[in-house]
Chain A
Amino acid sequence: MSTTLAAPQPLLALDGISLSFKGVKAITNISFAVNEGEICALIGPNGAGKSSLLNVINGVYKPDEGSIRYQDAVRRAMHPQWAARRGVARTFQNIALFKGMSVLDNVLTGTNLKVKSSWLEQVFNVGRAPADALAQRQKAERVIAFLKLQPWRNSIVGSLPYGLQKRVELARALAAEPQLLLLDEPMAGMNADEKAEMSRFIRETNREFGTTIVLIEHDIGVVMTLSDHVVVLDYGKKIGDGTPDEVRANPEVITAYLGTKH
Chain B
Amino acid sequence: MLYKEAGQFITEYRLDKRFFRLKQERWAFAALLAFAYLVVPAIGNDYWFSAILIPVLVLSLAGLGLNLLTGYAGQLSLGSAAFMAVGAFATYNFHLRIEGLPLIASLILGGLTAGGVGLVFGLPSLRIKGFYLIVATLAAQFFVQWVFTTFSWFSNNSSSGVITAPPLQILGTDLSTPAGRYLLTLTVVVALGWLAKTIVSGELGRKWMAVRDMDTAAAVIGISVPKTKLLAFAISSFYLGIAGALWAFTYLGTVEPHGFDLSRSFQILFIIIIGGMGSILGNFLGAAFIVLFPILLSQISTSLLAGAIDPGQLENFQKMIFGALIIFFLIKEPNGLAKVWQTAKQRLRVWPLRF
Q: Which A residues lie at the B interface, using CB under 8 A?
A: 58, 60, 80-81, 83-85, 89-90, 92, 96-101, 105, 108-110, 112-113, 115, 117, 119, 122-125, 129-130, 132-134, 136-138, 141, 172-173, 176
Q: Are B220 and A60 closer than 8 Å at their CB atoms?
A: yes
Top 9 closest A-B pairs, CB basis?
A84-B222, A98-B213, A96-B217, A113-B222, A137-B13, A80-B219, A80-B220, A98-B210, A122-B203
Q: Are B217 and A97 closer than 8 Å at their CB atoms?
A: yes
Q: Are A119 and B222 closer than 8 Å at their CB atoms?
A: no
Q: Are A97 and B214 closer than 8 Å at their CB atoms?
A: yes
Asked if B22 is an interface residue, CB under 8 A from chain A, the answer is no
Chain A contact residues: helix, strand, loop or mixed = helix
The interface centre, meaning the residue of B216, B218, B221, B223 with most chain A CB atoms within 10 A of its CB, is B221
Which residues 170-207 of B sit at the A interface, judged by CB distance below 8 A?
A: 195, 198-199, 202-204, 206-207
Can you show 10 pairs from A to B with CB atoms below 8 A apart?
Answer: A85-B222, A98-B214, A101-B210, A101-B213, A113-B221, A119-B231, A123-B199, A129-B202, A130-B14, A141-B13
Q: Are B209 and A108 closer than 8 Å at their CB atoms?
A: no
Q: Are A97 and B220 closer than 8 Å at their CB atoms?
A: no
Measured in the bound complex, the distance between the Cα atoms of B90 and A159 in whole Å is 45
Q: Which B residues lie at the A interface, using CB under 8 A?
A: 13-14, 17, 195, 198-199, 202-204, 206-207, 209-210, 212-214, 216-224, 231, 235, 278
Given the contacts A99-B214, A123-B235, A81 and B219 also touching, CB distance less than 8 Å: yes
Measured in the bound complex, the distance between the Cα atoms of B212 and A100 in whole Å is 9
How near does chain A come to B183, taking the closest CB pair, in angstroms?
24
Measured in the bound complex, the distance between the Cα atoms of B198 and A36 in whole Å is 41
A100 cross-chain contacts in B, Cβ below 8 A: 209, 212-213, 278
- Which chain A residue has the least Cβ–Cβ distance from B220? A80
B203 cross-chain contacts in A, Cβ below 8 A: 108, 112, 115, 117, 122, 129, 132-133, 136
Given the contacts A115-B203, A123-B195, A134-B13, A98 and B217 also touching, CB distance less than 8 Å: yes
Measured in the bound complex, the distance between the Cα atoms of B216 and A129 in whole Å is 26
- Partner of A105 from the list B14, B206, B221 (CB cut-off 8 Å) is B206
A83 cross-chain contacts in B, Cβ below 8 A: 220
The interface centre, meaning the residue of A115, A119, A130, A138 with most chain B CB atoms within 10 A of its CB, is A119
A58 cross-chain contacts in B, Cβ below 8 A: 220
Q: Are A109 and B220 closer than 8 Å at their CB atoms?
A: no
Q: Are A101 and B209 closer than 8 Å at their CB atoms?
A: yes
- Which chain B residue has the least Cβ–Cβ distance from A125? B198
How near does chain A come to B225, taking the closest CB pair, in angstroms?
8
- Partner of A109 from the list B207, B216, B235 (CB cut-off 8 Å) is B207
Measured in the bound complex, the distance between the Cα atoms of B278 and A105 in whole Å is 14
Q: Are A101 and B221 closer than 8 Å at their CB atoms?
A: no
B217 cross-chain contacts in A, Cβ below 8 A: 92, 96-98
Measured in the bound complex, the distance between the Cα atoms of B219 and A11 in whole Å is 22
- Partner of A84 from the list B195, B212, B216, B220 (CB cut-off 8 Å) is B220
- Which chain A residue has the least Cβ–Cβ distance from B199? A123
B218 cross-chain contacts in A, Cβ below 8 A: 98, 109
- Which chain B residue has the least Cβ–Cβ distance from A175? B221
Measured in the bound complex, the distance between the Cα atoms of B207 and A117 in whole Å is 14
The interface centre, meaning the residue of B202, B207, B216, B278 with most chain A CB atoms within 10 A of its CB, is B202
Measured in the bound complex, the distance between the Cα atoms of B14 and A71 in whole Å is 37
Given the contacts A81-B224, A112-B222, A122 and B202 also touching, CB distance less than 8 Å: yes
Measured in the bound complex, the distance between the Cα atoms of B68 and A46 in whole Å is 42
Measured in the bound complex, the distance between the Cα atoms of B199 and A133 in whole Å is 12
- Partner of B221 from the list A119, A136, A176 (CB cut-off 8 Å) is A176
